[in-house]
A and B are shown apart, each in its own frame.
Chain A
């Protein structure tokens, strides 16, 4: 435990967390007694000097409460995207547990489930928006089909109903109806990102994962995408995990923030506290380097 840990806020809605991640670890390499001890001093940054194992994440824990937006910030290589990939089951963690409030009352460790169950959770309880739309979309398929893909995966077999739902969602993210049958490959970056958001929302997921959603978009488009996310969050009360290296984005969206460095959580707290009164030297550096 770090000395700088602050009082945990119970989150806007209080009660049980929607997502609870405990001691999440991702190790590349065999590991040795030295680094497996879990002693923070045993690693040089995220690297074990004795056996050469890389610890992309070590003992990362956090909770997200219903309707809350949790920001995860840190420099590149700090493990932000690794957290997202673990939570969306793209990557199997080497240690740790995660519980989702909407699955089995939050009692099961979702990392320990069968591949089928993981797929069910991914299709019906989670949505993800990747930094790079090519990861989240089939660029050659129509936008409607992209949104419908998640519905089909969740067992829907009615074309009319799926098309109506996809049109509704694409309308919400301001894709003109004349272009809904176009492939995202023919869209601008901002539009692709909005199609991804529509797709992520299609199954009404209680948890939405946002991985650097505005990185690489120009400022006016960034503002529109952020506006959209903020609006959806207010309207639908979705819990969100927001990964970004842009503190401006985190300030605007996140209720609470976790600071990652070298695969470890070094500071957590209310976003305003972290940004106005950073405790750890690294967080101070991060906040002060904000333009």
Chain B
């Protein structure tokens, strides 16, 4: 079949522009690099930032995995995977270990990422200080001055209100001891996976026109207080009703009968365990 598009949809000039931003982001870990976000065949806010990074990085030998909230088969993941595969002809997989390029929304896979893999995260709001400071001019200056009391203030306010830090997702992190970064809306459970990761982590916000990065083996520390140390969601005592896994991030499922059961949020991980294939340990 004669391809209808240039390889990976973009023209080469667009790829170069996005790659420049990616390189700068890798050179300054955690720093939000502005870039000329393109119009995409999906709406802004539906993963265009991640998609643009993926399309500029993908090569003919890459193996692609796309996840949305842990699932390979949700609509958003399927649409993005079809677009990338359709315009490149590369192979795709559900198996984290097999993939070289992983685009994800809101999760980092349970199987530890390895050297040579690249994780691309879709980001809705890249600015960790946006909640306390609405002006972009002001937040740029705060980053320049390493003035992050606003991020701590937001956590302090949660402790005052609820007695503990209640960030459901997107708990801010300090990258390489310098920039405070929004890790995208991954659960707190996934924050520690960013620290000293063997894989390159790239984050793209299409609507907000920002790209930033965590290079491999970079120190990533979640913000906390001396007397309220950072904690991940407690998955203790929960077991996947399908594959029996424990110690992974679970979905809570309420049956019509009123019963509650748990299930791995990372569907690729769960499937591979049930298929007896590659996977984590129970």
A152 vs B154: C-alpha distance in the bound complex, in angstroms?
11
Contact partners of A149 in chain B: CB under 8 A: 149, 153
A138 vs B146: C-alpha distance in the bound complex, in angstroms?
20
Contact partners of B10 in chain A: CB under 8 A: none
Q: Is the CB of A142 within 8 A of B145?
A: no
* Chain A window 124-145, contacts with chain B (Cβ cutoff 8 Å), 1 for yes, 0 for no: 0000000000000010011011
Q: Is the CB of B152 within 8 A of A157?
A: yes
Interface residues of B in 125-165 (CB under 8 A from A): 132, 141, 144-147, 149, 152-153, 156-157, 159-161
Q: Given A138-B132, A181-B160, is A158 in contact with B225 using a C-beta cutoff of 8 Å?
A: yes
Contact partners of A115 in chain B: CB under 8 A: 141, 144-145
Q: Is the CB of A157 within 8 A of B225?
A: yes
Interface residues of B in 214-244 (CB under 8 A from A): 225-228
Chain B interface size range: 10 to 19
Q: Is the CB of B149 within 8 A of A142?
A: no
Q: Is the CB of B227 within 8 A of A158?
A: yes
Interface residues of A in 141-185 (CB under 8 A from B): 141-142, 144-145, 148-149, 152-153, 157-160, 162-163, 181
Question: Looking at the complex, which one of B144, B153, B227 makes contact with A145 (CB distance below 8 Å)?
Answer: B153
Q: Given A115-B145, A116-B145, A119-B147, is A159 in contact with B159 using a C-beta cutoff of 8 Å?
A: yes
Q: Is the CB of A153 within 8 A of B149?
A: yes
Contact partners of B149 in chain A: CB under 8 A: 149, 152-153
16 contacts between A and B (CB under 8 A): A115-B145, A116-B145, A119-B147, A141-B157, A142-B157, A142-B160, A145-B157, A145-B160, A148-B153, A148-B156, A152-B149, A158-B225, A158-B226, A158-B227, A159-B225, A159-B226
Task: Name the 6 nearest CB pairs between A and B, nearest first.
Answer: A153-B149, A152-B149, A145-B157, A158-B226, A159-B225, A152-B152
Chain A residues within 8 Å of B, Cβ to Cβ: 115-116, 119, 138, 141-142, 144-145, 148-149, 152-153, 157-160, 162-163, 181
